[in-house]
Amino acid sequence: MRIAMVSEHASPLAALGGVDAGGQNVHVAALATALAARGHEVLVHTRRDSPRLAARVRLAHGVVVEHVDAGPAAYVPKDALPPYMGRFADHLRRSWEAEPPDVVHAHFWMSGIAALDAARALRLPVLQTFHALGVVKRRQQGTSDTSPAERLQAEERIAAEVDQIVATCSDELFELLRLGAPRRRVSVVPCGVDLDHFTPAGPMAARRSGVARILSVGRLVPRKGVGNVIAALADVPGAELVVAGGPPAAALDADPEMQRLRRTASEAGVSERVCFLGSVSREELPALFRSADVVACVPWYEPFGIVPLEAMACGVPIVASAVGGLVDSVVHGVTGVHVPPRDPAALATALRELLADAPARISYGAAGAERARSRYGWDRIAAATLGVYADVLARRGLPATTNRGPSGGRHRRPRQAGVTAKVAAKVSAEAQP
């Protein structure tokens, strides 16, 4: 099957840790690679943000990333991208006329609008993963929300027009139903984790002897709750907090959020116990996770959250805010502890109790590793996603037109009436883990 993925601002090739580079980049790259490993051909369309990028770059066997000229070939904050989505859609339409995909899977709301506009005349099936909903962001951030004015209306349109929405957690499902999405057109498929990379066994990053380590990993933006962890540290004596994320270490001093967090640490009297690493490569992350006694992941809201999966896969217990996808992935009292968001006092209590209870940490870590292995491997997530694609193909009556042979080459065949059932059956069979 030929799969077109649209991820307008979140390139699967991007370095992580920036304001607009995070879980979506990981999700798109890993899902595309896992689908290709099952024999499918994936083309990811993302916006060109540098003149040095080639038109097409191979990400993995069966996965190609296409850089679309839409707006300046430079970094543009994602909230400033809507004016360029018309050009993005025009490119998609031309690309799909020349090489029609069997399904289109859009990621984020601007990708959804561009995909719908491009696919309309070609009658291609479009699926949508939002990764975040504007209505939730507006509710949580209020006047601090920088989303474009048209976002809420655009998401309502997407929910009404796409063939299927692939939500990532039960909380998002409920939000989509409130948005007016028909229940039959929403499937829940979680994000995944690389179980070969994130493992309990392996090297451990250096740490100070006799000092408990709390780890926070993620982008340095206020809603990730790092400031709440720093405030809580004042009531967790004898522990250090290591913060990984944000710009490279050499550029940390100039980062506004970094400056705010340092002020928070100073006001809480914990500056000497907080270490800001800046961006950390994915290659270094497993060792860093293994060095922690507990990972604190306490965003104000979170569409899904990949960091808890990575920590659990490394056998580390979690203290997580009870929001969004963290309610699904972290099981309270089994793999970690839930706390209310934006509540440093409750967070401090949970951290103190867990750091004082070594048997609980060991139990939570082992249960988390098992939960990650049994539920969140990318092959399993790809299988579930293929099942959704199969349902859409069968419902639309559109057969697949190409397969990728053992050599990776394209084998085209004409569209034929009566092929649909066979294709849907084949894809459905491949969707089994």
Token pair for 55: 């038109």
Average pLDDT (3-20) is 77
Q: What is the pLDDT of residue 20?
A: 43
In tens, the pLDDT along 189-245 reads 999 999 999 999 999 999 999 999 999 999 898 999 999 999 999 999 999 999 999
Spatial separation of the C-alpha atoms in residues 383 and 421, rounded to whole Å: 19
Look at strands 56-60 and 63-68 and give their pairing: antiparallel
> Would you place residue 290 in the very low, low, confident or very high pLDDT band (cuts 50, 70, 90)?
very high
d(Cα 375, Cα 313) in Å, to the nearest integer? 11
- Whether 275 and 245 have beta carbons less than 8 Å apart is answered as no
Higher pLDDT residue, 128 or 430? 128
pLDDT confidence bin for 397, thresholds 50/70/90: confident
- Bridge partners (DSSP) of residue 4 are 43, 104
Task: Please report, as a single letter, which amino acid is at residue 411.
Answer: H
pLDDT at 292: 98
Residue type, 97: E
Q: Is 134 helix (H, G, I), strand (E, B) or coil?
A: helix
202 Ramachandran zone, left/alpha/beta (phi>0; psi -120 to 50):
left
Please write the tens of the pLDDT for every residue from 115-149: 999 999 999 999 999 998 999 888 888 888 889 98
Domains of the chain: 2-192+378-430 (3.40.50.2000), 212-375 (3.40.50.2000)
Burial 269-308, CB ≥16 within 10 A → b, else e? ebeebbebbbbbeeeebbebbbbbbbbbbbbbbbbbbbbb
pTM score, two decimals?
Answer: 0.86
Alpha carbon distance 176, 116 (integer Å): 18
Beta bridge partners of 318: 295, 336
User: Does residue 383 or residue 18 have the better pLDDT?
Assistant: 383
Can you tell me the distance from the alpha carbon of 364 to that of 334, in angstroms, rounded to the nearest whole number? 6
Tokens for 113, please give them. Answer: 């609008």
